[in-house]
C-alpha cells in the first residue's frame, strides 16, 4: 500500500496524486508541489489515504510544503492577473480578426508562463497574437486549443437536470459515450434530449450503462417469442427498473397483453430478421431454442 494525497490546481480540474511523506494534509488546505510544468500551488481535495501499489502508474512526486499566507496571497493575485490577461487577449483577438473564442487564462504559480485556452472551428494562425501578448506581459505565452466538452468543464453551468455540470463539479476525466447507450436505456434518440449544453451526448448516459448491460443479459429483447404460464407470446416492451416485460398474445382476431416478471418467462427464440418477416432470403429457417 502507498500513502497518497490528492491535489487539484483549478476548479473542476483533474485530481493529481502526490507523496505526502510523513506529513498529514487536511482536505481544503493548500500545498506547494513540483509538477512537470514547474512549481504550483494546489488545493488538497483528498486527504492522506492508502491505495494499492498497482493503482500508482508513475513514481509520485513529493509535496514540498504546506502553503503559507504569502503563497495564498500570490495565488489570489494570479487570479486577478488572469482576469486582466483575459480582457487584453480578447481585445487583441478582435483587433487581429482571428476566428477563435477565448475560454480561459491560467497563470503558472511562479508567473513564468501564461496559458490561454481557446476554441475554434479549424486551425488558427496565432503567431502574431503570441508575439503581441509576449510583448505586453513580458513572459512566456502558450495558446492551447480545446474542444467543446473541455470548454464546458472550464466554464461550468447548469445542465438540463438543474444541477451543475458533472464535468465541472466532480468528473476528473471524460468517458466514452455512444448513441448505443441511449438505445439500450430506452431513451429518446432526439439529439436535443440526450445532448448536453456542449452539444455532445450527455456524460450521465455512461453512469448506469453497466447496470443496463447486465440487465439485458437476462432480459428478452423486444420481439422475442417467450413461453409464459398463459401460453406463447412476443415481448413488446421491457421495464428495466421493475425487471418486467409486457407480452403480446394473438389468438385469431383477438389481441391481448399481459405483464410478467422476467423470472417467470422462458425465451424461445429472438426477434425475426427482416428476411424472415418478408418471407425472402431462401429457405425458411427452423426456430431454435436459445440457451
Check which CATH number belongs to the domain holding 255 and give it: 2.30.30
pLDDT at 128: 92
Residues whose CB falls within 8 Å of the CB of residue 26, separated by 6 or more in sequence, listed in order: 44, 47
Domain C-terminal end among 183, 206, 229: 206
How many Å apart are CA 157 and CA 54, to the nearest integer? Answer: 36
Range of the domain at 48: 2-67
Cell of 97: 480578426
Report how far residue 209's alpha carbon sits from residue 188's, in angstroms, rounded to the nearest whole number: 16
20 & 42 share domain: yes
As given in the structure block, the three cell numbers for residue 208 are: 448506469
Helix or strand holding residue 90 (H, E): helix 69-96
Q: Do 132 and 174 belong together in one domain? A: no
Residue 258 lies in a domain: yes
CA atoms of 209 and 277, how far apart (whole Å): 31
Would residue 232 count as lying in a domain? Answer: yes
In 3D space, the residue among 238, 223, 239, 231 whose CA is nearest the CA of residue 256 turns out to be 231
Instruction: Let me know whether 241 and 190 are in one domain.
Output: no
Model confidence pLDDT, tens digit, residues 59-101 = 888 899 999 999 999 999 999 999 999 999 999 999 999 999 9
If one counts the domains in the chain, the total is 4
Residue 214 lies in a domain: no
- Inside any domain, residue 115: yes
Q: Does residue 47 share a domain with residue 102? A: no
Q: pLDDT per residue over 188-212, tens digit each?
A: 888 888 999 888 999 999 988 888 8
pTM assigned to the model: 0.71
Amino acid at each position: 500500500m502507498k500513502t497518497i494525497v490528492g491535489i487539484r490546481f483549478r476548479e473542476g480540474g483533474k485530481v493529481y496524486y502526490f507523496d505526502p511523506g510523513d506529513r498529514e494534509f487536511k482536505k481544503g488546505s493548500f500545498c506547494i508541489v513540483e509538477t512537470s510544468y514547474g512549481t504550483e500551488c494546489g488545493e488538497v481535495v483528498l486527504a492522506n489515504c492508502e491505495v494499492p501499489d498497482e493503482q500508482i502508474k508513475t513514481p509520485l512526486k513529493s509535496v514540498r510544503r504546506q502553503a503559507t499566507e504569502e503563497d495564498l496571497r500570490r495565488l489570489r493575485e494570479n487570479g486577478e492577473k488572469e482576469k486582466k490577461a483575459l480582457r487584453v487577449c480578447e481585445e487583441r483577438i478582435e483587433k487581429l480578426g482571428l476566428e477563435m473564442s477565448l475560454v480561459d487564462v491560467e497563470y503558472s504559480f511562479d508567473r513564468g508562463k501564461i496559458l490561454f485556452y481557446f476554441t475554434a472551428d479549424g486551425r488558427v494562425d496565432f503567431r502574431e497574437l503570441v508575439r503581441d501578448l509576449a510583448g505586453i506581459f513580458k513572459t512566456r505565452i502558450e495558446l492551447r486549443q480545446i474542444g467543446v466538452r473541455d470548454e464546458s468543464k472550464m466554464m461550468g453551468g447548469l445542465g438540463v437536470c438543474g444541477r451543475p455540470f458533472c464535468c465541472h463539479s466532480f468528473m476528473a476525466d471524460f468517458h466514452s459515450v455512444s448513441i448505443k447507450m441511449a438505445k439500450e436505456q430506452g431513451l429518446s434518440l432526439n439529439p436535443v434530449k440526450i445532448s448536453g449544453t456542449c452539444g455532445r451526448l450527455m456524460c450521465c448516459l455512461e453512469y448506469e450503462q453497466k447496470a443496463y448491460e447486465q440487465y439485458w443479459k437476462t432480459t428478452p429483447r423486444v420481439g422475442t417469442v417467450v413461453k409464459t404460464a398463459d401460453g406463447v407470446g412476443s415481448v413488446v416492451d421491457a421495464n428495466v427498473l421493475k425487471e418486467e416485460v409486457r407480452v403480446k398474445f394473438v389468438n385469431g382476431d383477438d389481441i391481448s397483453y399481459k405483464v410478467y416478471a422476467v423470472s417467470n418467462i422462458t425465451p424461445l427464440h429472438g426477434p425475426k430478421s427482416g428476411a424472415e418477416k418478408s418471407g425472402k432470403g431462401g429457405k425458411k429457417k427452423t426456430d431454435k431454442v436459445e440457451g
